[in-house]
Amino acid sequence: IWLFVLANESRQFALDEAVRQTELLTQEIAAHEATDRELQQSKEMAEAANLAKSRYLGGISHELRSPLNSILGYAQLLEKDEDLLPAQLNKIKLIRRSGDHLADLIEGLLDISRIEAGRLEIRRDEVAIRDLLNEMVDMFRLQAESKGIEFIYDPSPFLPEFVNTDEKHIRQILINLLSNAVKFTEQGSVTLSVRYRSQVAEFTVTDTGSGIDESERKRIFQPFERIRRPGMPQKPGTGLGLTISQLLADIMGGEITVASQIGAGSRFRLSLMLSSIDKPRQVVKPSRRICGYKGPSKTIMVVDDDASHRSLISEILQPLGFIILEATDAYDCLNNVSGTPVDLFLLDISMPGMTGWELLRTLRKRGYKTPVIMVSADAEDRVSASAQGAADIGKRTNSDYVIKPIRDQVLLNKLGAVLKLDWEFREDKPVAVRHVNTADKNLCEGMAIADVRELQNLAELGYVTGIEKLIENMDVRPGSEDCTEHLLELVHSYQFATIISMTQKVIDHDRG
């Protein structure tokens, strides 16, 4: 009987414990379900916020590209004006290079969203790597000289003329690295060295800036992270440059490494596989200016609701012998295309009423097999091309795609490929550009201290005429005539920051 009582009590105890554990499990499951619902809601809110961010960035990109297209386009046209003086031409080139830099920054706004969504497009272009590097060196040498620091370029003799890579993204990475080096260097030099071996290029950017502490080296690659030290002036920037550069380098199969020492500067090294091209397709080198093409005149219809864009395309192409027809929208194009022989359509994508994609499909339904180049200020349009049903954009139908702001050389290369043109060239006369190495020589040392102070005041005001009169009337030491000429060159290139830096050094030395 006693054993039966004990067995019955054990069974009842086990049953009660099972019921209690079941209730606890039920409560835990309910809690997990509530947490899962909250997580799902948070995920949906985050996805909605991310989508809104992407749409906002896309809209901002579109709005910035449209006016930038006119700025860059007419800067490119002015560069070809043979009536410009060398000093004026240098200023136009500076506007164009700065516009290119701004276009790359706009593109960088969208890159993180594309990477997060897995929609970043990596292209394999035939890139004239030497010309690309020379162009960036010219741009950043001016920035370095404006701060009174030296810019050194050390290219590899084994670097091929053409390589396969994504031109836009490699340009973006190098601009970010060089921009940071110049920005955070107050004295000394910035060096870009390039090594090439076994199809691998190694770009090294070395500066003599303040350096990066070991504890901060990983943090600088995080989004919106910026190094701030007490007593140091705040540098402009978004904190996204190195983040985007590292993500792009990883996607392109390369890597970025950093070595730095406080007070001695930093060294960023980018390693990338850049396969050389022995027999590149026909591309137009920047040093060879197109003056026309052989054969009968080609007729191009430009369809765009933006009158400034149509005018820009006309001014680029008409002097080369093209016949340009303009249409204000898709309906205007359809009304005027019948009976008119057109060799190529330039179709803007974002137009009121009927988009460029819809116009393209309508033209194809009506039997027009004419090649088409799609044009858009929205970089996302290229990604959504297949979704829009434009299956004939690509090599299969001899058509192509360009993004605003339009580079005239890119447009001409695409026209040449699509229409199979045989270009005629005219060699450009090289423009003598004299770079003043202000890091090694202070051009104000031969001036009286009163003139130096007056020069600094005028430079701070940006008063060009006043500076010219001051230089003309001031007394300098014998043998310093070349220095005044160099100083005038700085004035005419509007490098006021360099003048202020040089005058401040002389004033500080006088006080000491």
305 & 271 share domain: no
| 107 in any annotated domain | no
pLDDT for position 213: 75
Q: Would you say residue 379 lies in a domain?
A: yes
Among 141, 224, 149, 155, smallest CA distance to 184 is for 149
In a domain, 175, yes or no: yes
- Are 498 and 358 members of one domain? no
User: Both 419 and 473 in a single domain?
Assistant: no
Beta strand 299-303 pairing with 288-293: unpaired
Structural domain harbouring 388: 288-426
SS3 (DSSP) at 181 = helix
CATH of the domain at 410: 3.40.50.2300
Residues 261 and 161 placed together within one structural domain of the fold = yes
| pLDDT value, residue 512 | 61
Residue 173 is part of a domain; what is its CATH number?
A: 3.30.565.10
What are 57-84's pLDDT values in tens digits? 666 666 777 778 778 888 888 887 777 7
Task: Give the highest mean pLDDT range of 98-102, 199-203, 347-351, 380-384.
Answer: 199-203
Instruction: Looking at the structure, tell me whether residues 297 and 388 fall in a common domain.
Output: yes
224, 247, 276 - which closes a domain: 276
Whether residues 138 and 264 share a domain: the answer is yes
pLDDT-based confidence at 269, cuts 50/70/90?
very high
Least confident among 179-188, 247-256, 376-385: 376-385
Virtual torsion, Cα 91, 93, 99, 105, nearest 10 deg: -110
pLDDT in tens, 160-219: 888 988 888 888 889 888 988 888 888 888 999 999 988 899 999 999 888 887 777 676
The reply to whether 41 falls in a domain is: no
Residue % of the chain over a pLDDT of 70: 76
> 436 or 101: which carries more pLDDT confidence?
101
User: Which residue, among 450, 474, 127, has the nearest Cα to 274 in the 3D structure?
Assistant: 127
Q: Is residue 202 part of a domain?
A: yes
Residues 355 and 259 grouped into a single domain: no
Residue 20 lies in a domain: no
Query: Does any domain span residue 97?
Result: no
**Are 339 and 364 found together in one domain?**
yes
Give residue 396's pLDDT: 43
How many distinct structural domains can be found in the chain? 3
Mean per-residue pLDDT, 426-441: 46
- Place 479 in a pLDDT band, splitting at 50, 70 and 90: low
pLDDT band per the 50, 70, 90 thresholds, residue 54: low
Residues 199 and 245 sit within 8 Å (Cβ to Cβ): no
Q: What is the pLDDT of residue 439?
A: 42
Q: Is residue 19 part of a domain?
A: no
What spatial distance separates the first Cα and last Cα of the chain, rounded to whole Å? 111
135 and 267 belong to one structural domain: yes
**In this structure, are 465 and 347 located in the same domain?**
no
Looking at the structure, do residues 138 and 253 belong to the same domain, yes or no? yes
**Segment 4-32, tens digit of pLDDT:** 888 888 888 888 888 888 998 998 898 88
Q: How confident is the model at residue 389 (pLDDT cuts 50, 70, 90)?
A: very low
d(CA 226, CA 224): 6
CA-CA distance, 223 to 180, in Å (whole number)?
15
356 and 460 fall within a common domain: no
Domain boundary among 247, 276, 305: 276
Query: What count of residues does the chain have?
Result: 512
The string of DSSP letters for 358-414 reads HHHHHHHHTT----EEEEES-THHHHTTTTTT-TT-SGGGT-EEEESSPPHHHHHHH
Residue finishing a domain among 368, 394, 426: 426
Arithmetic mean of pLDDT over the chain:
78
- DSSP codes, 470-481: HHHHS-B-TT-H
Please write the tens of the pLDDT for every residue from 305-325.
888 888 888 888 988 999 999
pLDDT-derived band at 226 (thresholds 50, 70, 90) equals low
